[in-house]
Amino acid sequence: MKKIFYTMAALALLGACAKSVVESDPQKAKRSFDSWAQVRCPNAHNEANQPVNWNDGSVNDYFGVYLDPSYEVEGNGMSVLDSNYVYVRFTVRTALGYITGSSEKDTMQKVGRYKAQNYIGPVVWKKSSDAGILGGVRNGLNGMKEGGKRRIFIPPWLMTTTYRATNQEYFNAGSTGVITHQYEMEVLDAISSIDRWCIDSMVRYVAAHPTYPYRKSDDDVPAELARFVRARPESADTTALGWWYQRLVQPSQLKRLPNDTTIYIRFVGRLNNGKVFDTNVLDTARKYGLYSSSSTYSPMQIKMAEKHYDIKFISPSDGSENSLITGFTYTLRNMHPGEGGVALVHQGMGYASTVTEQIPAYTPLVFELQLVPKPE
């Protein structure tokens, strides 16, 4: 997510006053932030969701985020305190009100930041200390429940992904150089197990698409997928967890693709909302706004191997061998000459926690693959 950076001077008018003592940079940041927050939200609450008294001096020893009670919706589902991950909608604004990111398509269109090829929608945030989440966002989520909404105002010292145990420690470390941001958040799911949540979303996805060619009947596909997952122990190798495939085009031969040979494929990669994120099919690339004049849209050249994780993509530009994600290679290793099919793969076989403009973290992926003859 891109962020617009401003210096604390942008807020100086809100916090300016005569000072009889020399203040440290953290003290100046604190005074500026409190002055801005009081103007922006005079009825603000603290992280314990208790009203802030701007006049009794206690605010001087408070270093957390402020909550806007006028925006607050409690929610009635599972508490985020009982979860390791949260699935959220969000909008982010700078202190001056500029929107820098949002999960809402309409919002991004209004501010001229929408791109059709990019993913816009709810995302999963990991809450743990190694997650790379802003300290202020982590604090602001505390106390929320599924279905809850909250607007928070994050001070500069909490605008960092470096984990510290207390707000005082964040404050003592000094300002990050980024001014306060406002986050509007809605918790859709509190997630205890990201693997289980992903599997459940895969089951829902198949159940919601009865006209897809790999749907066998009204009942047996979700049940089949669920049985496949339940049959595996929780400690199972994640490379074999949550993979489901349906053949669409019969193979020309029912034999294993030989090792150390080159095959050629056409493919379409989709998110589990149906959005295409990558393809080497020209018409599909144009339809979904992915077309690039620098791409050839020729069949993908693949070097097969005994083990799926040794299968490589051969670059058409220099002939170099490159790795592919597990879900892609695992599917290819289970295909035969001339075959075509659709694979639904678990996030652990995809991009896991990696985020790109087209693919959010922890999302299942759908691959449509067709083995084709070598181009003339």
Determine the Cα–Cα distance for residues 90 and 133; give it in Å rounded to an integer: 14
Task: Name the domain count of the chain.
Answer: 2
**164 and 200 fall within a common domain:** no
Residues 187 and 302 occupy one common structural domain = no
In a domain, 367, yes or no: yes
pLDDT confidence of 24, banded at 50, 70, 90? Answer: low
Angle CA 166–171–174, to nearest 5? 135
pLDDT of residue 3 exceeding 80:
no
3-state secondary structure of 339: coil
pTM score, two decimals? 0.83
Whether 261 shows a pLDDT value over 50: the answer reads yes
Q: Are residues 180 and 214 in the same domain?
A: no
Angstrom distance (rounded) from CA 223 to CA 346? 16
Q: What is the CATH number of the domain that holds 364?
A: 3.10.50.40
pLDDT confidence band for 27 (50 / 70 / 90)? confident
Residue 3 within any structural domain of the chain: no
Among 191, 213, 242, the domain-final residue is 191
Cα–Cα distance for residue pair 296/292, rounded to 1 Å:
9
Are 51 and 164 found together in one domain? yes
Q: What is the pLDDT of residue 166?
A: 96
Give yes or no for residue 12 having a pLDDT over 50. no
Residues 201, 181 within the same domain: no
* Domain final residue, candidates 127, 156, 191: 191
Phi, psi at 59, each rounded to 5°? -65, -25
Q: Which domain holds residue 128?
A: 8-191
CB atoms within 10 A of CB 83: 20
Residues 213 and 349 in one domain: yes
Q: Are 375 and 299 in contact (CB under 8 A)?
A: yes
Over residues 143-152, mean pLDDT? 97
